[in-house]
C-alpha cells in the first residue's frame, strides 16, 4: 500500500526536506557480518569491453540522418551591451541553415529570471551572443566570423571581495551578493571565546578557480519528431535536463525524452540543461533537422562551469591543552556571472571538530567571470584547504602533534544537529593512515640535505553521502532465467552499472552474468536523482535491491505452485532453485519457460526515507609525504595515503578508482591547476589543456588507499554511503601541511606553486610563519 513520507536529504552540504511516496516495506539492511557472495567482491566493470573497444556510444558519437552542426558566437568582453547585431553576411554563406540571436528567439528566462537564453547584456568573456547552424562545423566556424557586432564595453569586476562592495560595478539588478546578504551560521559566541582563548591563530587564505576539463565536453544532439523532442545529452541528470528543457520550451514532460548511455566525465558540472541544449533544440525545430552541438575545449573552459575561487579569513581559539574553544570564518566565493546557489567553504569549520563557539559568514558573490558549477565537493575542498591548515597552525603554536590535536577535539555527534552519526570511522582512519605513512616515525625520516627538505602532513574529511529518495527501479525476470534491472540513473564513468548488477545478483541469488542493467533514458527508465554529491549508489542501490527482492518473492511463490512445494522449502542460489527433498536443483527456465511460456515477472522498488535520528556522513583522513627543493621551490609528492569510511564497500575495484581519481584531482588543485585571468581585460589566458596544468601520469605519486569497511545499519538497506566526493576533499590540505612541515612556513594561497614557496621562504627570513 502506498504511503506518503516526509524525509530529509543532504546534497553538497545542504539539507532538503521533501515528501515521497513509498510502496511496500523497506528491507532490513544486510547485517555487518552477513556472508555475501557478490557484494563486497572485486568485480570488473560489466561494460568495460564496450568502453575500451570503442563500442560505447557517447553523445559526441551520435550521428543522425540530415544532422546539422551548431556553433556559438561568444562575447569578447567581460561586461558589455550589444548596440547592434548584423547577421546578414553569415546567413548568406553557403551551408548556413539558421542564425539565432536575442532578436529572433523567445525570451526564455533562466535561473528563475536571473537572465535570458540570449540577451543584449553580456556578463563575462564567453557569454553567448548568437547561435549558428550549418552543414558542418567548419562552415559554422566560418560563419561566426561574418557576424558583425557593435559592443558597448561596461565596467567589470572579477575579484569576489571587491565585487561584494556597493561601489563595485553591478552585474545584476539585485546586486552582486547572492540573495542580497551573506549566509550566516552561529553557535555559542565565537567572538567572546576568541577574546578569552589561551591561544589564538589568525590567517588569510585564498583558493583559485579550477576547471573541470571533462574529457567529453558539454553538449547535446536534439531531434524533433512531430511535437516530441529527443535529446542526447552528456549529463549527470537526465531527468533534470528533461525538466529544464520542458519548462524552457513550454512542453509537457512526456514530450521530451533525454538519453545518456555513456559520458566522458562531469565532476558536477553537468547537472542540468545547458544553454547549448536549448539553442540546439530551438534550431532543430526551426530547420526541421537534427542539430549536433558540442562545446570546443576552449568553450568548455570558458562557459561550462568551474570550481569558484575563495578568499577566507580564519581565526581559531583554544585552551592550552588543545581544546578548541572558538572558530570564526568570513569567506567570499566568486560565483561568476550566473548562479542560483553558493558553495559552503564553512562546512568543514562547522562540522569537523567539537567546538562550542563557531561563527561562519559566507558571501557568495557575482563577478564578471565564467559561471561556477558544482565541482566534486564544492566548497568543502576549498574550506578544508584553509581550515585544516589553520588546525596545523594552531598545533604548531600549542607545540602539539597535529594528529593529537585532531583526536583531542574528536566528536561522535554532529555538532550542528546534536544527532549521533550513523557510523563514524574517522578515528580508525587516523590510526590506519598514520601507520601506513609512518607518522610516529616521521621525524627520523625528515631530511635536510642540501636544498632538499622532506615533510609530512595530514588532513581530515567530512561530507554527506547519504543519498536519499526519491529513486525507483524495476527488475524484470525473463523466462530464460535472466534478469534486467531498469532505472533512470546515470553511469558517469564511476561503475554504476557494475555495482547495481552486483546488488541485484546478490538479492536474487543469480550469477552476475545473468543480470543486465539498463539506465540513462527518461522514456524507458523510472525516476532516479542526479548522479552528483556522492548520491548515486546510496540513492538508487537500495531501490534496486527492493525491486530484486520483490521479483524474487514473486518467483518463489510461482515456483512453489508449479513445483507443488511449500515456498519456505525453496531457495534461489546461483540462478537455480534449490528445493528441499529434491536431489538436483531446478533450472529457472523449467519453471518459467516450459511451464509458463511467455510469462514475465516485474519487481518494483523504491528508495526509503533517510533515518530521522541519525546524521549520515562520510569521513576520512589523508596523509602526504613530500620533498621540497628550497632552491627551486619544486615539490615532489613521494606518497599519499588515503583512508576513508563510507559504509559498506560494494566493489573494492570501483571504490579504488574513485579514491585514486579524487586524490589525483586533489593533487592538481594543490599544486598546478588554476584558471588565469588578465586582471586588466578580464580575459581567460589558459582555456586549454596545454597551459591549464592537470596532473599527468608522470606527476602521480604512490597512492596507498584503504577503506574502513563498516556497514552503516541506519543509512539504507545496503549499509552503503557515497564515495564520489570524499577522496578529493582533504588531499590539497594534507599536501599543504606537508610542505609547511618541510620548509617551516605555511603557503596559504593556492595553488602552491614554486614561486609562492620561494616567496614564503624569503618572508621567513624577514619574519612570520605563513605567506
- Taking the C-alpha atoms of residue 154 and residue 170, their distance in angstroms, rounded to an integer, is 10
Per the DSSP assignment, residues forming a β-bridge with 602 are 476
Q: Tens of pLDDT along 544-576?
A: 999 999 999 999 999 999 999 999 999 999 999
- Are 571 and 653 members of one domain? no
What confidence score (pLDDT) does residue 666 get? Answer: 98
CA 523 to chain centre: 25
Band (300; pLDDT cuts 50, 70, 90): very high
Active site residues: 725
Judge whether 162 lies within some domain.
no
The closest of 121, 184, 106 to 337, measured between CA atoms, is: 121
Q: Is the pLDDT of residue 8 over 70?
A: no
Judge whether 296 lies within some domain.
no
Judge whether 183 lies within some domain.
no
- Listed in sequence order, the residues at least 6 apart from 602 whose beta carbon sits closer than 8 Å to its beta carbon are 474, 475, 476, 477, 551
Give the residue numbers spanning the domain of 695.
Answer: 310-466+613-760
- Are 630 and 752 members of one domain? yes
What confidence score (pLDDT) does residue 102 get? Answer: 97
Judge whether 230 lies within some domain.
no
Query: What is the overall mean pLDDT for the chain?
Result: 95
Question: Percentage of residues in the chain with pLDDT exceeding 70?
Answer: 96
Domain total in the chain: 2
Range name among 386-395, 590-599, 606-615 with the lowest pLDDT average? 590-599
- Are 729 and 631 members of one domain? yes
Q: Tens of pLDDT along 194-241?
A: 999 999 999 999 999 999 999 999 999 999 999 999 999 999 999 999
Q: Tens of pLDDT along 505-542?
A: 999 999 999 999 999 999 999 999 999 999 999 999 99
- Taking the C-alpha atoms of residue 514 and residue 507, their distance in angstroms, rounded to an integer, is 13
Q: Is the pLDDT of residue 114 over 80?
A: no
What confidence score (pLDDT) does residue 520 get? Answer: 97
In a 10 Å sphere around its CB, with 0-12 CB exposed, 13-18 middle and 19+ buried, how is residue 6 labelled? Answer: exposed
Q: Is the pLDDT of residue 596 over 90?
A: no
Band (449; pLDDT cuts 50, 70, 90): confident
Range name among 100-104, 113-117, 193-197, 502-506 with the lowest pLDDT average? 113-117
Band (771; pLDDT cuts 50, 70, 90): low
Judge whether 294 lies within some domain.
no
What confidence score (pLDDT) does residue 151 get? Answer: 98
What confidence score (pLDDT) does residue 15 get? Answer: 62
- Are 661 and 642 members of one domain? yes
What confidence score (pLDDT) does residue 291 get? Answer: 98
- Taking the C-alpha atoms of residue 529 and residue 543, their distance in angstroms, rounded to an integer, is 12
Starting at the earlier edge strand, list the strands of the sheet with 576-579: 570-573, 576-579, 586-587
Question: Percentage of residues in the chain with pLDDT exceeding 90?
Answer: 91
- Phi-psi map region of 462: left, alpha, beta (phi>0 left; psi -120 to 50 alpha): beta
Which of residues 590, 606, 622 is at a domain's end?
606
- Are 503 and 585 members of one domain? yes
- Are 592 and 701 members of one domain? no
- Are 484 and 361 members of one domain? no
- Are 530 and 553 members of one domain? yes
Judge whether 282 lies within some domain.
no
Judge whether 84 lies within some domain.
no
The closest of 171, 152, 148, 154 to 101, measured between CA atoms, is: 148
Range name among 80-84, 170-174, 280-284, 737-741 with the lowest pLDDT average? 170-174
Percentages helix, strand, coil for the chain (3-state, rounded to 5) are: 30, 30, 45
Per the DSSP assignment, residues forming a β-bridge with 177 are 365
3-class DSSP state for residue 150? Answer: strand
What confidence score (pLDDT) does residue 740 get? Answer: 98
- Listed in sequence order, the residues at least 6 apart from 61 whose beta carbon sits closer than 8 Å to its beta carbon are none
Rounded to the nearest 5°, which phi and psi values hold at 444?
-75, -15
The set of cell numbers assigned to 20 is 515521497
CA angle 736/740/744 to nearest 5° reads: 170
Q: Tens of pLDDT along 329-369?
A: 999 999 999 999 999 999 999 999 999 999 999 999 999 99
Which of residues 606, 622, 641 is at a domain's end?
606
The set of cell numbers assigned to 654 is 570501483
Band (467; pLDDT cuts 50, 70, 90): very high
The closest of 306, 142, 267, 292 to 687, measured between CA atoms, is: 306
The closest of 749, 745, 734 to 311, measured between CA atoms, is: 749
The set of cell numbers assigned to 261 is 548511455
What confidence score (pLDDT) does residue 590 get? Answer: 83
Q: What integer is the mean pLDDT of 107-119?
A: 86
Cβ atoms of residues 672 and 755 within 8 Å:
no
The set of cell numbers assigned to 183 is 549566509
Band (25; pLDDT cuts 50, 70, 90): low
Band (597; pLDDT cuts 50, 70, 90): confident
Which of residues 606, 636, 669 is at a domain's end?
606
- Are 652 and 601 members of one domain? no
What confidence score (pLDDT) does residue 2 get? Answer: 66
3-class DSSP state for residue 694? Answer: coil
- Are 553 and 565 members of one domain? yes
Judge whether 333 lies within some domain.
yes
What confidence score (pLDDT) does residue 17 get? Answer: 72
- Are 580 and 624 members of one domain? no
Q: Is the pLDDT of residue 426 over 90?
A: yes
- Are 685 and 580 members of one domain? no
Band (115; pLDDT cuts 50, 70, 90): confident
Beta-strand runs (E) in 61-112: 68-74, 80-86, 96-100, 109-110
The CATH number for 498's domain is 3.30.365.10
Cβ atoms of residues 553 and 496 within 8 Å:
no
Amino acid at each position: 500500500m502506498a504511503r506518503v513520507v516526509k524525509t530529509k536529504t543532504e546534497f553538497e552540504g545542504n539539507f532538503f526536506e521533501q515528501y515521497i511516496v513509498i510502496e511496500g516495506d523497506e528491507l532490513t539492511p544486510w547485517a555487518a557480518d552477513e556472508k555475501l557472495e557478490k557484494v563486497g567482491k572485486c568485480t570488473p566493470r560489466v561494460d568495460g569491453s564496450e568502453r575500451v573497444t570503442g563500442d560505447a556510444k557517447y553523445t559526441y558519437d551520435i550521428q543522425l540522418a540530415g544532422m546539422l552542426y551548431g556553433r556559438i558566437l561568444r562575447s569578447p568582453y567581460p561586461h558589455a551591451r550589444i548596440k547592434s547585431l548584423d547577421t546578414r553576411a553569415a546567413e548568406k554563406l553557403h551551408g548556413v541553415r539558421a542564425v539565432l540571436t536575442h532578436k529572433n528567439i523567445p525570451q526564455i528566462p533562466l535561473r528563475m529570471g536571473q537572465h535570458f537564453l540570449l540577451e543584449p547584456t553580456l556578463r563575462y568573456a564567453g557569454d553567448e551572443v548568437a547561435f549558428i547552424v550549418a552543414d558542418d562545423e567548419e562552415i559554422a566556424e566560418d560563419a561566426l566570423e561574418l557576424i558583425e557586432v557593435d559592443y558597448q564595453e561596461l565596467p567589470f569586476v572579477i575579484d569576489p571581495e571587491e565585487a561584494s562592495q556597493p561601489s563595485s560595478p553591478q552585474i545584476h539588478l539585485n546586486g552582486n551578493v547572492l540573495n542580497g546578504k551573506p549566509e550566516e551560521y552561529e553557535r555559542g559566541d565565537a567572538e567572546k571565546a576568541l577574546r578569552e582563548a589561551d591561544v589564538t591563530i589568525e590567517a588569510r587564505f585564498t583558493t583559485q578557480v579550477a576547471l573541470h576539463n571533462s574529457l567529453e565536453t558539454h553538449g547535446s544532439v536534439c531531434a524533433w519528431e512531430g511535437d516530441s523532442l529527443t535529446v542526447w545529452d552528456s549529463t549527470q541528470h537526465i531527468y533534470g535536463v528533461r525538466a529544464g528543457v520542458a519548462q524552457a520550451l513550454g512542453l509537457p514532460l512526456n514530450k521530451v525524452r533525454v538519453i545518456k548511455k555513456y559520458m566522458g566525465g562531469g565532476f558536477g558540472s553537468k547537472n542540468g540543461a545547458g544553454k547549448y541544449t536549448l539553442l540546439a533544440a530551438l534550431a532543430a525545430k526551426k530547420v526541421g533537422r537534427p542539430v549536433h552541438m558540442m562545446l570546443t575545449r576552449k568553450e568548455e573552459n570558458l562557459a561550462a562551469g568551474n570550481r569558484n575561487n575563495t578568499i577566507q579569513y580564519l581565526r581559531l581559539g583554544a585552551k592550552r591543552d588543545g581544546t578548541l574553544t572558538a572558530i570564526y570564518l568570513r569567506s567570499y566565493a566568486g560565483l561568476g556571472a550566473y548562479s542560483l546557489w553558493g558553495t559552503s567553504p564553512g562546512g568543514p569549520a562547522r562540522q569537523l571538530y567539537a567546538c562550542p563557539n563557531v561563527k561562519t559568514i559566507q558571501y557568495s558573490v557575482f563577478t564578471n567571470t565564467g559561471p561556477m558549477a558544482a565541482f566534486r565537493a564544492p566548497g568543502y575542498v576549498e574550506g578544508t584547504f584553509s581550515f585544516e591548515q589553520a588546525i596545523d597552525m594552531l598545533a604548531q603554536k600549542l607545540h602539539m602533534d597535529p594528529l593529537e590535536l585532531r583526536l583531542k577535539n574528536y566528536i561522535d555527534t554532529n555538532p550542528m544537529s546534536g544527532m549521533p552519526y550513523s557510523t563514524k570511522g574517522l578515528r580508525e582512519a587516523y590510526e590506519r593512515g598514520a601507520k601506513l605513512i609512518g607518522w610516529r616515525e616521521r621525524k627520523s625520516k625528515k631530511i635536510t640535505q642540501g636544498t632538499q627538505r622532506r615533510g609530512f602532513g595530514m588532513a581530515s574529511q567530512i561530507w554527506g553521502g547519504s543519498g536519499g529518495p526519491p529513486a525507483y527501479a524495476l527488475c524484470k525476470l525473463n523466462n530464460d532465467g535472466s534478469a534486467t534491472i531498469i532505472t533512470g540513473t546515470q553511469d558517469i564513468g564511476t561503475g554504476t552499472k557494475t555495482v547495481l548488477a552486483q546488488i541485484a545478483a546478490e538479492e536474487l541469488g543469480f550469477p552476475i552474468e545473468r543480470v543486465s542493467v539498463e539506465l540513462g533514458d527518461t522514456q524507458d527508465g523510472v525516476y532516479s536523482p542526479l548522479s552528483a554529491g556522492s548520491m548515486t549508489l546510496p540513492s538508487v542501490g537500495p531501490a534496486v535491491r527492493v525491486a530484486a527482492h520483490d521479483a524474487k518473492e514473486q518467483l518463489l511463490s510461482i515456483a512453489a505452485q508449479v513445483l507443488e512445494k511449500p515456498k519456505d522449502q525453496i531457495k534461489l542460489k546461483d540462478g537455480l532453485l534449490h528445493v528441499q527433498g529434491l536431489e538436483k536443483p531446478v533450472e529457472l527456465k523449467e519453471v518459467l519457460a516450459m511451464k509458463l511460456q511467455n510469462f514475465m515477472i516485474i519487481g518494483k522498488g523504491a528508495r526509503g526515507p533517510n533515518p530521522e535520528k541519525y546524521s549520515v556522513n562520510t569521513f576520512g583522513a589523508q596523509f602526504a609525504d613530500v620533498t621540497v627543493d628550497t632552491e627551486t621551490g619544486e615539490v615532489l609528492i613521494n606518497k599519499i595515503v588515503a583512508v576513508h569510511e563510507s559504509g559498506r564497500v560494494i566493489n573494492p575495484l570501483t571504490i579504488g578508482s574513485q579514491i585514486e581519481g579524487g586524490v589525483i584531482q586533489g593533487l592538481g588543485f594543490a599544486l598546478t591547476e588554476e584558471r588565469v585571468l588578465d586582471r586588466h581585460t578580464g580575459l581567460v589566458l589558459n582555456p586549454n589543456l596545454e597551459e591549464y596544468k592537470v596532473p599527468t601520469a608522470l606527476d602521480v605519486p604512490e597512492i596507498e588507499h584503504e577503506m574502513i569497511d563498516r556497514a552503516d545499519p541506519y543509512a539504507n538497506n545496503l549499509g552503503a554511503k557515497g564515495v564520489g566526493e570524499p577522496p578529493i576533499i582533504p588531499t590539497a590540505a594534507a599536501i599543504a601541511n606537508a610542505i609547511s612541515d618541510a620548509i617551516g612556513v605555511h603557503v596559504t594561497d593556492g595553488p602552491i606553486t614554486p614561486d609562492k614557496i620561494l616567496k614564503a621562504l624569503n618572508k621567513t627570513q624577514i619574519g612570520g610563519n605563513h605567506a
